[in-house]
Every structure is written in structure tokens, then in C-alpha cells.
Amino acid sequence: MKIAFASGKGGTGKTTVSLNLALALSDVQLFDCDVEEPNCNLFLGFELEKVEDVICSVPVIDPEKCSLCRRCSDFCRYNALAALPTKVLVFPSLCHGCGGCTLLCPEEAIRESHRFLGLIEKAKEGSSPEFYRGLLNIGETMVSAVIKKLQKHIDDRKTAIIDAPPGTACPVIASIEDMDYCVLVTESTPFGFHDLKLAIDVVRALKIPFGVIINRYGLGGSKVEEYCKTEGISVLLKIPNDRMIAELYSRGIPFIREMPEWNEKFLCMFEAIKSQLAGGKEART
Amino acid sequence: MKICITASGEGLDSEVDSRLGRCSYFVIYDTETKLMESISNVSAAVSGGAGIKAAETIANAGVNVLLTGSVGPNAFSIFSEVGIDVQVGVKGTVREAIRQYEAGELESISSPNNVPHSGMKKGSGMGRGKSRGR
């Protein structure tokens, strides 16, 4: 089973919850899909090794063969090619590597080179949980390509936990679209509530079954809880606004390690997700 | 001599737009024939590479001078490649911008004077968790 933890608003506790659940379960893989700033390993401290580079094909144009027909430039929806009066210029940083220009070129004047977008790393063999993360090169914008490459390492025989990036745009879609279930982690602040509704729009559009975790419960108002009740959305877990949890976080310790009573709560949540999925579509409104 | 001005509308009396990639029209004026042409900017609403597309359109229109507000590095490399003189600091109407140019009140730039994506309206970036609340 593949479960993603997303949020809308940043800093609501996606990583905290992903880590704690991964530590509560066995036979589990944890993927840090926030490839712009992966932070799971701050709490795990694993020794990481490189698995592979993530690359993107980019066109290289042979000016001798190019007839300036403009087909490549007209085709490229990312505007990575500019057909000028005397030559075609390529802007590799805008290229998404679809290869369309190469296929279309009637003169076969385009060959493909590649550029590096980032890399995939994993924790040394025998680490528990099994841990993978993506790392996007600084200044690079092709986030989704790194996330997709990272998710190729999902082993269908195991439980996969995906720590998604914040927001509701392409990196989030890339992280959650192939999931069996999505947990939206929120807090009952005006900002948390606002972005939760945006995130709910996303998971509903993608038709992914979902539930909500309210973190720092007790902080802010009761709007999130009331909203979930009205909408028939299951609240899977409430994590109190607790000083001990905050302190452990600040020291880089997943709180389940020092507060073993949470083990049971995370396992219960996992069972609740499984039964929601088994039970059908009532939460899939 | 063909002059291109980035503008918010068609014709000499429309307002100049300081944005290159996201302006609505390119008004092109020929100082010799006194003929004027307005080209709609097809890249004004694309998700990325608007500056490149705009520069490509301008380069293919046979323009000698561009009057605008700011130019990023990608577009600037196109103007350098085809030898278009980029002058910035325009204000008012297209007609006024042409007058400023002819009076020598504008200055050519020899390097980009802006960063990419600057013409995107505030808040139109696609929610990459800018307010990450951390």
C-alpha cells in the first residue's frame, strides 16, 4: 500500500507524521519527496549512498543541417527553443526532455544530450525503515522528474510512506497522484484551514481516498474539526499541541521513540486507513 | 530603422508596458516609412519561457531597436545574438517612447537588467509552498 502525507500549508507536520508512522510499522519504505529541501534524514541520521543521477534529455542542434523550418520552436510548449532568422537557440533550463523536437526535425539536425537535475539517495542496506530521498540540484526547476524517479523505487510488496512537499502544485501532484491513500496533515489555524481546503480540492480532483490529521490540536479554533464533520471527512488522528513533542522535534527525535504510547495510536491510524480503503468509497466524496 | 515598443494595447497612443514577455502587444514603428504595425504577444499567458518567445517574435520581425522596461538573461541572449539594441526606461504612451528614443533620452543596456520570471503577476506563481510557514 502506498500512502502519501501532504498538507497544503508548510510546517504542519508531514515529516513528523511520516517518520513516526514509518517507525511504528515494519516492512516499510519511507520516501522523502520534498526534493527541494528533504529533511527526513535530519531525524533518522542514516548514512546515505547515491543510487542514481536524475537526468533530462536536452536537444543539441547541428547548425549545418538545420534548415530553420521552425518546427522545433513552434512545437515546444515550454519555449526552450527560439528559432531566430539565422539560427535556433536552445535554452536547456526550460527543456522538459520530451524529445518532441528531435522526432519532428525533418533534417535530423537535432541530437540529444542531457543535463543533471538531481540525484536519488538511499540509506545503507539494513536500515529500518528502508529510506530513500531525492535531491534536486540548486537552481533547478524540474522537481517532478526527480520525484517520479524516486518513486520508481517503491516496492509493491511493502508499505510505502511518501513525505510529500507542501503546496498544491506540480511537485505535490507528482508525489501523490499514484498513491492508494493520502493523509492531509493540518493545524486548526486560519492559514492551516485555508490551505487544507485547497489540498482537499486536489485529492478530490485526483480521486484519491483521503483523511485528515490535526496536528498541534488545541491550537487555534475548531474550524477544521467542524469542517471535516460537515464534509464527512475522517479525522484519523489528533496530535496535541504538546511541549514534549515540540522539544523532541527541536532535538531531531521522532517523538514515538521517547513516547512509546504513540506507537499504538499510529498503528490504529494505519488500521483505520486500511478499513477505510476496504470499506469503499464513503470518504471518497 | 524599425523600433519595437512593448505595449498594453495596439497603436501609437496605447500605454507602454515595462514587461517584455507578458506585455499584450509589440508595437513596431518604421522611422523611414512612418508605418506602424501592432503584433499581439502570443506568449503573454504561457506558463514559462515568455521572455524567450517574445524575443523570438521581435527578432523575426526584423526590428533594430527595442524599447521596454526590463529584460531577463534568456531574452537578452536572443537580442545579443541578432544584434537588437535594447533601450530601457520607457514611460507613457508608445508615441512618447518613440519621442524619448529619438531625442536620445533613453539608454542602451549591455547586459540583462532583470531576473527570469519577473513579469509574472504577484501571486500567479503556482503555489510551490512559498509560505512554507517554517
d(CA B26, CA B10): 8
Of chain B, the percentage scoring pLDDT greater than 70 comes to 87
How wide is the angle at C-alpha B97 spanned by C-alphas B91 and B101, nearest 5°? Answer: 125
How wide is the angle at C-alpha A233 spanned by C-alphas A227 and A238, nearest 5°? Answer: 80
- Check CB contact of B122 with chain A, cutoff 8 Å: no
Q: Which of A78, A87, A165 sits opposite B129 (nearest CB)?
A: A165
Domain chopping of chain A, boundaries = 2-46+127-279, 56-116
d(CA A184, CA A198): 11
Quote the domain boundaries for residue B28. 2-108
Topology annotation, domain A56-116 = Alpha-Beta Plaits (3.30.70)
ipTM tops 0.85: no
Average pLDDT over residues B11-39: 96
**Is the residue at B114 inside a domain?**
no
CA neighbor of A122 nearest in space, from A29, A51, A70: A51
Given an 8 Å threshold on Cβ–Cβ distance, is B133 in contact with A79?
no
The pTM for the full model equals 0.81
Summarize pLDDT for A194-243 with one digit per residue, the tens.
999 999 999 999 999 999 999 999 998 899 999 999 999 999 999 999 99
**Is the residue at B133 inside a domain?**
no
Residue B124 — pLDDT band, cuts 50, 70, 90? very low
Q: Is the pLDDT of residue A86 over 70?
A: yes
d(CA A39, CA A42): 5
Summarize pLDDT for A169-203 with one digit per residue, the tens.
999 999 999 999 999 999 999 999 999 999 999 99
pLDDT of B116 reads 72
- Check CB contact of B86 with chain A, cutoff 8 Å: no
Given an 8 Å threshold on Cβ–Cβ distance, is B132 in contact with A11?
yes
Given an 8 Å threshold on Cβ–Cβ distance, is B74 in contact with A78?
no
Beta strands in chain A (DSSP E): 2-6, 28-32, 48-61, 81-83, 88-90, 110-123, 130-136, 159-163, 181-187, 210-217, 235-240
Same fold, A2-46+127-279 and A56-116: no
Q: Which of A73, A79, A169 sits opposite B46 (nearest CB)?
A: A79
**Is the residue at B49 inside a domain?**
yes
DSSP element (H, E) containing B108: strand B107-108
**Is the residue at B13 inside a domain?**
yes
DSSP element (H, E) containing A233: none
Given an 8 Å threshold on Cβ–Cβ distance, is A169 in contact with B46?
no
> Maximum distance among all alpha carbons in chain B?
59
Interface probe for A, chosen from B47, B56, B64 (most Cβ of A below 10 Å), is B56
| Residue of chain B whose Cα is closest to the Cα of A91 | B74
- Asked if A273 and A3 touch (Cβ cutoff 8 Å), the reply is yes
User: How many Cα atoms sit within 13 Å of A5 on the Cβ side?
Assistant: 31
| Residue of chain B whose Cα is closest to the Cα of A186 | B133
Amino acid at A285: T
**Is the residue at B117 inside a domain?**
no
User: How many Cα atoms sit within 13 Å of A33 on the Cβ side?
Assistant: 36
Interface probe for A, chosen from B60, B132, B134 (most Cβ of A below 10 Å), is B132
**Is the residue at B122 inside a domain?**
no
Of chain B, the percentage scoring pLDDT greater than 90 comes to 75
Task: List, in order, residues 6 or more apart from A220 with CB less than 8 Å away.
Answer: A187, A188, A189, A190, A192, A193
Least confident span in A235-244, B5-14, B125-134: B125-134
Q: Which of B56, B81, B129 sits opposite A167 (nearest CB)?
A: B129
pLDDT of A279 reads 86
Residue B47 — pLDDT band, cuts 50, 70, 90? confident
Q: Which residues of B touch A198 (CB under 8 A)?
A: 127
- Check CB contact of B57 with chain A, cutoff 8 Å: no
- Domain of B49, CATH number, reads 3.30.420.130
**Is the residue at B7 inside a domain?**
yes
Q: Which of A10, A82, A83 sits opposite B132 (nearest CB)?
A: A10
- Check CB contact of B49 with chain A, cutoff 8 Å: yes
Summarize pLDDT for A20-50 with one digit per residue, the tens.
999 999 999 999 999 999 999 999 999 999 9
Q: Which residues of B touch A170 (CB under 8 A)?
A: 126
| Residue of chain B whose Cα is closest to the Cα of A96 | B48
Query: Angle, to 10 degrees, between the axis of helix A14-24 and the axis of helix A261-279?
Result: 90
d(CA A59, CA A196): 40
Q: Which residues of A touch B52 (CB under 8 A)?
A: 79-80, 82, 91, 94
Task: Provide the number of CB pairs (under 8 Å) joining chain A to chain B.
Answer: 73
Q: What dotted CATH number matches A2-46+127-279? A: 3.40.50.300
Task: List, in order, residues 6 or more apart from A18 with CB less than 8 Å away.
Answer: A5, A30, A40, A161, A162, A163
